[in-house]
């Protein structure tokens, strides 16, 4: 085994259950040269995250069965390495920025990492200072990690890998849910670390960000097997059909969607709305709300009925908080009207009969442990007079419509992210809600699932007059699906044409 | 700048508080209880960073509980001594005054002040101890396993995220038309499912950073037991023992 190969996987077979029939990784063979930047792409459910975890030695240690094959890092077998030795070879950056730290601040987290590698205490501070200077994260060192934004957390996590001096960085969808600026900043750090000689292996379902950096794209098919490799910026167009075949995002200039020309009556109106980021804190005796920065300042907006509207803006700019205001869960000044009625005059339960919301993490809104029951529970809530049979028939009809009837006996938590979101949309609309709020519909999903859900919603919008407002940081998504786009910038909601969004 | 209470080795501090509590539980001296309570408050306000607001916020329920105990001891103590004072001459005196004149007053004071003393000692520890410092100290002074220690730390630092998530779960339920009251179990079930996912993710992240449970590792800071940590402990315990010997009421 040559030193020139960073990662070598030979005939790796991995499954979650000992007796299971389905191999998540099915005879995977993969060699990745040292010093390169390689992007592994594959559709959701093809096993690419599992592949990363197996390569990093996290599986089968934390679950699953390695039924066959070997993994080598820089010529050394992974089996037999303890976590310390593994960390010297490969450091991993995960998809969810919230779940990768165990200490309070970045400085302490970096110390934790170096302690794990048995570094002498005197050597730690110089290394931290050098890393912070090199990566420009000095400002993050002593802030509590939970107060950082997603992009800052990812940079902090990368800084930890920097101090550990791992030879290879393994990135599992680390750009998911970062807005464009945060993603660029992270990419900048990655490029710096690559120039210092580190190998980078990234798992991603969007090639766009990597076009200028990656030496090679590898497409993964079913069972994590290599479907094509040797792709790079120059020859990508030859593989266009394969991208479509595998359900992957092809990096093409997105076509703006042709919006509705006619002016429609608004379903939701913001009239001079101001919102402050209130940090409501429950102290021992009372709720104390500290006034934070102003998120919306005297904003005007008209969200048309029977259409899809996008609200764009970087993470943390207050999009979700504006949604909370619409649900009367966050204080606002000014006037918000729903179908012409002042929101403040509508009782909450009546409001929720008209407005539904699907959050970033749809798993948070499941109320039962069974897919069919999930829909029935919602139908019962909103239609208490319906007999049981009618509920069941209606639930079956809706599950069929959303392509989920195969899974009716499953637990909602066992579904994929895309299916979970569909189920959430379906059960949220059970009360005949006419306005759907959708928070970051792309979160944790591949091109095909995003397309599927947006197309389905568009169908409902056109056929049934549903109104959809979705917030996203993904400009291409907004341009492709929205009839109207609002850009939250300078604390205002500005209507912008799709062409400007893509420019 | 941290106060001397915060620099006091947390393991020694915890042991001291524990010994003091046990000593206080075998004596019945009102004056000693009050002295312990007073000293705790003074130390907290002068020797730690916690402000008087936090002390007051915790003191209020403690005082309420002490008052409850006092009233209970006054009226319902064993021996029913109110009747003993009920001489013909004072029968016109209100019941409360008669009760106060009885032996019960002292019993009630004993109970109430003991509760205050406990509250003082508890606050002394809780309000002046940094969780991370305490865990680091347990790691080195009590040989707590690193797996356990860092597991607790990770969970502790997940709390703000969990609080955020929990309020979102409750909101999601409310929007779905379910009535959620503070004791609803459904959101808690969802949080349990989340917690399982989170603990898996965090432990994998820790492992990928080279953390191997009980493997040897170096430590940036090792909390040590200094002479002044032990002196503080001796002073506290000695003070209480002296009080027990010298005080009479």
Whether A365 and A242 share a structural domain = no
CA distances from A357 to A424, A425, A443 (A): 9, 8, 15
In a domain, A385, yes or no: yes
Q: Chain A within 8 Å of B153 (Cβ-Cβ)?
A: yes
Flag whether pLDDT at B124 surpasses 90: yes
Whether B119 and B12 share a structural domain = yes
Query: Residues 104 to 143 of B: which have CB under 8 A from any A CB?
Result: 132
Q: Chain B within 8 Å of A226 (Cβ-Cβ)?
A: no
CA-nearest residue to B207 within chain A is A83
Collect all residues of chain B within an 8 Å Cβ-Cβ radius of residue A108.
132
Measure B138 CA to nearest chain A CA, in Å.
16
Query: Best mutation site among B54, B61, B209, B215 for testing chain A: the one with the most A CBs within 10 Å?
Result: B209
Domain residue limits at A403: 306-334+343-502
Whether B101 and B172 share a structural domain = no
pLDDT of A10: 95
pLDDT tens per residue, range B147-187: 999 999 999 999 988 888 888 888 888 888 888 887 888 88
Mean pLDDT confidence for B91-119? 79
pLDDT of A34: 94
**Tokens representing residue A74 in the block:** 């820089």
**Do B176 and A367 lie within an 8 Å CB cutoff?**
yes
Question: CA B78, CA B102: separation in Å to the nearest integer?
Answer: 12
Whether B75 and B181 share a structural domain = no
E strands, B101-180, are none
Nearest to B157 among A96, A103, A352 (CB): A103
**Do A118 and B178 lie within an 8 Å CB cutoff?**
no
Which of B52, B166, B225, B7 has the alpha carbon at shortest distance from A365?
A: B166
Collect all residues of chain B within an 8 Å Cβ-Cβ radius of residue A96.
201
Whether A367 and A444 share a structural domain = yes
In a domain, A255, yes or no: no
CA-nearest residue to A382 within chain B is B177
Number of structural domains found in chain B = 2
CA-nearest residue to B159 within chain A is A146
**Do B208 and A98 lie within an 8 Å CB cutoff?**
no
Helix axes B104-126, B52-76, angle to 10 degrees: 160
- Give chain A's radius of gyration (CA, Å): 24
Non-local (6+) Cβ contacts of A442 within 8 A are A450, A472, A474, A477
CA-nearest residue to B204 within chain A is A58
Residue B210's region, left for phi above 0, alpha for psi from -120 to 50, else beta, is: left
Whether A359 and A451 share a structural domain = yes
**Do A62 and B203 lie within an 8 Å CB cutoff?**
yes
Whether B239 and B118 share a structural domain = yes
Which of A29, A26, A25 has the alpha carbon at shortest distance from A9?
A: A29
DSSP B27-80: ---HHHHHHHHHHHHHHHHHHSS--HHHHHHHHHHHHHHHHHHHHHHHHH-TT-
**Tokens representing residue B31 in the block:** 């004056």
* DSSP three-state, residue A214: coil
pLDDT of A283: 46
- Report the share of chain A in percent with pLDDT over 90: 50
Q: Chain A within 8 Å of B175 (Cβ-Cβ)?
A: yes
pLDDT tens per residue, range A434-467: 999 998 888 777 777 888 889 889 999 989 899 9
Of A246, A266, A298, the domain-final residue = A246
Whether A127 and A214 share a structural domain = yes
DSSP A59-85: TTTTSSEEEEEEEEETTEESTT--HHH
Chain mean position to CA A114: 30
In a domain, B219, yes or no: no
Flag whether pLDDT at B15 surpasses 80: yes
Whether B151 and B62 share a structural domain = no
In a domain, A451, yes or no: yes
In a domain, B196, yes or no: yes
In a domain, A183, yes or no: yes
Q: Tell me, what CATH number does A476's domain have?
A: 3.40.50.300
Number of structural domains found in chain A = 2
Question: CA A380, CA A386: separation in Å to the nearest integer?
Answer: 7
In a domain, A275, yes or no: no
Whether B129 and B189 share a structural domain = no
Whether B168 and B59 share a structural domain = no
**Triad A257, A261, A262: Cα angle to 5°:** 140
CA distances from A164 to A34, A53, A132, B214 (A): 18, 19, 13, 19
Query: Best mutation site among A367, A377, A428 for testing chain B: the one with the most B CBs within 10 Å?
Result: A367
Whether B56 and B163 share a structural domain = no
Query: Residues 158 to 177 of A: which have CB under 8 A from any B CB?
Result: 160, 164
pLDDT band at A1 (very low <50, low <70, confident <90, very high): very low
* DSSP three-state, residue A494: strand
In a domain, B140, yes or no: no
pLDDT tens per residue, range A204-226: 888 888 999 999 999 998 889 99
- The H or E element spanning position B4 is helix B4-7
Whether B123 and B190 share a structural domain = no
Collect all residues of chain A within an 8 Å Cβ-Cβ radius of residue B215.
82-84
Collect all residues of chain B within an 8 Å Cβ-Cβ radius of residue A78.
none
pLDDT of A473: 86
CB A253 within 8 A of CB A502: yes
**Between these two residues, A249 and A297, which has the higher pLDDT value?**
A297
Q: Chain A within 8 Å of B220 (Cβ-Cβ)?
A: yes
**Between these two residues, B195 and A262, which has the higher pLDDT value?**
B195
Q: Chain B within 8 Å of A104 (Cβ-Cβ)?
A: yes
Whether A453 and A312 share a structural domain = yes
Average pLDDT of the residues of chain B: 87
Whether B153 and B178 share a structural domain = yes
Nearest to B212 among A82, A101, A356 (CB): A82
Whether A32 and A146 share a structural domain = yes
CA distances from A20 to A23, A58, A212, A415 (A): 8, 20, 41, 17
Domain residue limits at B35: 4-134+224-246
Whether B43 and B129 share a structural domain = yes
Collect all residues of chain A within an 8 Å Cβ-Cβ radius of residue B204.
53, 58, 62, 94
Question: CA B32, CA A455: separation in Å to the nearest integer?
Answer: 76
A114: how many CB neighbours lie within 10 A of its CB? 26
Q: Chain B within 8 Å of A382 (Cβ-Cβ)?
A: yes
**Do A382 and B193 lie within an 8 Å CB cutoff?**
no
Whether B57 and B124 share a structural domain = yes
Whether A216 and A329 share a structural domain = no
pLDDT of A284: 46
In a domain, A206, yes or no: yes
Non-local (6+) Cβ contacts of B124 within 8 A are B5, B17, B40, B43, B44
**Sign of dihedral through CA atoms A413, A414, A416, A422?**
negative
């Amino acid at each position: 085994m040559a030193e020139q190969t960073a990662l070598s996987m030979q005939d790796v077979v991995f499954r979650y259950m000992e007796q299971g029939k389905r191999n998540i990784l099915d005879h995977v063979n993969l060699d990745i040269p040292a010093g390169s930047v390689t992007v592994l792409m594959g559709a959701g459910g093809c096993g690419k995250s599992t592949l990363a975890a197996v390569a990093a030695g996290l599986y089968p240690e934390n679950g699953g069965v390695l039924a066959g094959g070997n993994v080598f890092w820089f010529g050394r077998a992974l089996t037999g390495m303890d976590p310390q030795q593994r960390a010297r070879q490969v450091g991993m950056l995960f998809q969810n920025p919230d779940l990768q730290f165990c200490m309070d601040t970045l400085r302490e987290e970096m110390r934790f990492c170096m302690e794990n590698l048995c570094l002498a205490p005197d050597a730690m501070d110089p290394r931290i200072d050098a890393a912070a200077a090199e990566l420009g994260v000095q400002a993050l060192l002593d802030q509590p990690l939970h107060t950082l934004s997603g992009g800052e957390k990812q940079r902090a996590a990368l800084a930890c890998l920097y101090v550990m001096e791992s030879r290879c960085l393994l990135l599992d969808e680390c750009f998911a849910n970062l807005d464009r600026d945060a993603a660029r900043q992270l990419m900048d750090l990655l490029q710096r670390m690559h120039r210092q000689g580190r190998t980078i292996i990234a798992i991603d379902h969007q090639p766009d960000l990597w076009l200028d950096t990656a030496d090679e794209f590898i497409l993964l098919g079913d069972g994590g097997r290599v479907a094509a490799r040797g792709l790079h910026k120059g020859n990508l167009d030859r593989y266009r059909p394969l991208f479509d075949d595998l359900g992957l995002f092809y990096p093409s200039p997105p076509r703006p969607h042709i919006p509705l020309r006619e002016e429609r009556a608004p379903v939701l109106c913001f009239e001079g709305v101001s919102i402050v980021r209130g940090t409501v804190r429950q102290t021992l005796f009372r709720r104390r709300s500290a006034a934070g920065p102003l998120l919306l300042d005297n904003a005007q907006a008209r969200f048309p009925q029977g259409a899809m509207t996008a609200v764009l803006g970087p993470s943390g700019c207050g999009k979700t908080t504006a949604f909370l205001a619409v649900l009367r869960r966050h204080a606002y000044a000014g006037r918000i009207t729903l179908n012409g009625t002042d929101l403040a005059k509508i009782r909450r339960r009546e409001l929720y009969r008209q407005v539904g919301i699907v959050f970033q993490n749809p798993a948070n809104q499941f109320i039962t442990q069974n897919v069919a029951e999930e829909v029935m529970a919602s139908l019962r809530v909103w239609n208490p007079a319906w007999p049981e049979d009618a509920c069941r028939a209606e639930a079956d009809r809706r599950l069929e419509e959303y392509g989920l009837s195969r899974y009716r006996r499953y637990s909602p938590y066992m579904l994929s992210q895309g299916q979970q979101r569909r189920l959430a949309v379906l059960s949220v609309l059970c009360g005949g809600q006419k306005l759907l709020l959708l928070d970051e519909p792309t979160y944790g999903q591949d091109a095909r699932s995003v397309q599927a859900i947006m197309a389905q919603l568009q169908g409902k919008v056109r056929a049934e007059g549903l109104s959809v407002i979705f917030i996203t940081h993904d400009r291409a998504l907004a341009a492709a699906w929205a009839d109207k786009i609002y850009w939250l910038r300078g604390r205002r909601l500005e209507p912008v044409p799709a062409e400007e969004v893509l420019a | 700048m941290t106060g001397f209470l915060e620099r006091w080795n947390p393991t020694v501090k915890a042991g001291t508080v524990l010994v003091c509590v046990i000593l206080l539980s075998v004596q019945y001296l009102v004056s000693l209880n009050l002295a312990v309570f007073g000293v705790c408050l003074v130390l907290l306000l002068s020797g730690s960073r916690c402000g008087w607001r936090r002390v007051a916020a915790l003191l209020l329920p403690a005082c309420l509980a002490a008052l409850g105990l006092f009233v209970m001891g006054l009226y319902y103590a064993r021996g029913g001594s109110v009747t003993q004072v009920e001489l013909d001459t004072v029968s016109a005196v209100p019941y409360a005054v008669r009760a106060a004149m009885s032996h019960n007053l002292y019993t009630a004071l004993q109970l109430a002040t003991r509760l205050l003393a406990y509250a003082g000692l508890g606050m002394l520890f809780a309000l002046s101890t940094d969780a991370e410092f305490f865990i680091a100290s347990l790691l080195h002074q009590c040989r707590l396993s690193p797996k356990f220690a860092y597991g607790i730390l990770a969970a502790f630092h997940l709390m703000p995220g969990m609080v955020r998530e929990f309020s979102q779960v409750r909101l999601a339920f409310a929007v779905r038309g379910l009535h959620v009251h503070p004791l609803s179990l459904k959101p808690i079930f969802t949080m349990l499912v989340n917690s399982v996912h989170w603990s898996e993710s965090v432990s994998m992240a820790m492992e990928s950073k080279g953390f191997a449970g009980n493997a040897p590792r170096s430590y940036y800071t090792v909390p040590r037991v200094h002479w002044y940590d032990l002196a503080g402990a001796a002073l506290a315990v000695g003070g209480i023992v002296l009080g027990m010997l010298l005080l009479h009421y």
